[in-house]
Amino acid sequence: MSNTSRSTATRSAPPRLRLSREERLRQLLDVSWKLISDEGTNVLTLGRLAEEAGVTKPVVYDHFGTRNGLFAALYQDFDVRQTAIIDAAIADSKPTLQDKASIIASSYIACVKSQGREIPEVLAALSGSPELATIKRQYQQAFIEKCQRIFAPFSGPQGISVASMWAMLGAADSLSHAAVTGEITEEQARDELFVIIVAMAKRTK
């Protein structure tokens, strides 16, 4: 190729866009979610993620450090989106137990359902590691404390016990998983969780 031809090719090549750190993280998380959806968590390694995202391995390692760090980031990503949806819905809801319970039930089930099979896969991966199980428990405790504050005006002086809240969260996870796998409908999951939440709050009065 002549110097003129090389010069023309260089000028016509599109400029390579450099993503900010936040934009790159978003890209890597999106690619990870898609990989889990298509092939499951077993294929999700930092090397495979780098390949699918079109970046070098050091870029992926810089963001997540380890495979466990990647799963922790995925769970955090889901939790942040779920929290934002629930907080916005609660802020716009009416000040009644039924309305608050409906918001929590519908938002929780809808968030998990919209993520599809990816969330059960990530939860399974989290449970398989003591480090990740601790991270998962921290987010669960934060959700429980949020719900205790939301339902405090509708419960007795002692409030809703932590044991009851863990039972509610376990039901929410089981119902949402059943909705994802198609064993029950999203509406059935939402309605059952609503009944559980209202009964839990009323029992403390």
Instruction: Please answer whether residues 36 and 44 qualify as being in contact, where contact means their C-beta atoms are separated by less than 8 angstroms.
Output: yes
Total number of domains in the chain: 2
Mean pLDDT for 102-116 is 87
The pLDDT value recorded for residue 65 is: 93
The pLDDT value recorded for residue 41 is: 87
Structural domain span for residue 189: 75-203
Q: Whole-model pTM?
A: 0.73
98 and 29 together in one domain: no
- Each residue of 60-102: pLDDT tens digit? 999 999 998 999 899 889 888 888 888 999 999 999 999 999 9
- Each residue of 162-193: pLDDT tens digit? 999 999 999 998 999 899 889 999 999 999 99
The pLDDT value recorded for residue 139 is: 87
The CATH number given to whatever domain includes residue 115 is: 1.10.357.10
Instruction: Please answer whether residues 195 and 168 qualify as being in contact, where contact means their C-beta atoms are separated by less than 8 angstroms.
Output: no
Mean pLDDT of the chain: 86
Q: Considering only residues 109 and 205, tell me which one the structure prediction assigns the higher pLDDT.
A: 109
**One-letter amino acid of 130:** P
96 and 197 together in one domain: yes
114 and 164 together in one domain: yes
Whether the predicted pLDDT of 10 surpasses 50 = no
Q: Is residue 46 part of a domain?
A: yes
Q: Is residue 160 part of a domain?
A: yes
Helices 118-127 and 67-91, packing angle to 10 deg: 120
Question: How many Cβ atoms sit within 10 Å of the Cβ of residue 28?
Answer: 24
The string of DSSP codes covering 11-65 is HHSPPPPPPPHHHHHHHHHHHHHHHHHHH-GGG--HHHHHHHHTS-HHHHHHHHS
Residue 160 has phi, psi (to 5 degrees) of: -90, 130
Q: How many CA atoms lie within 13 A of 29 on its CB side?
A: 18
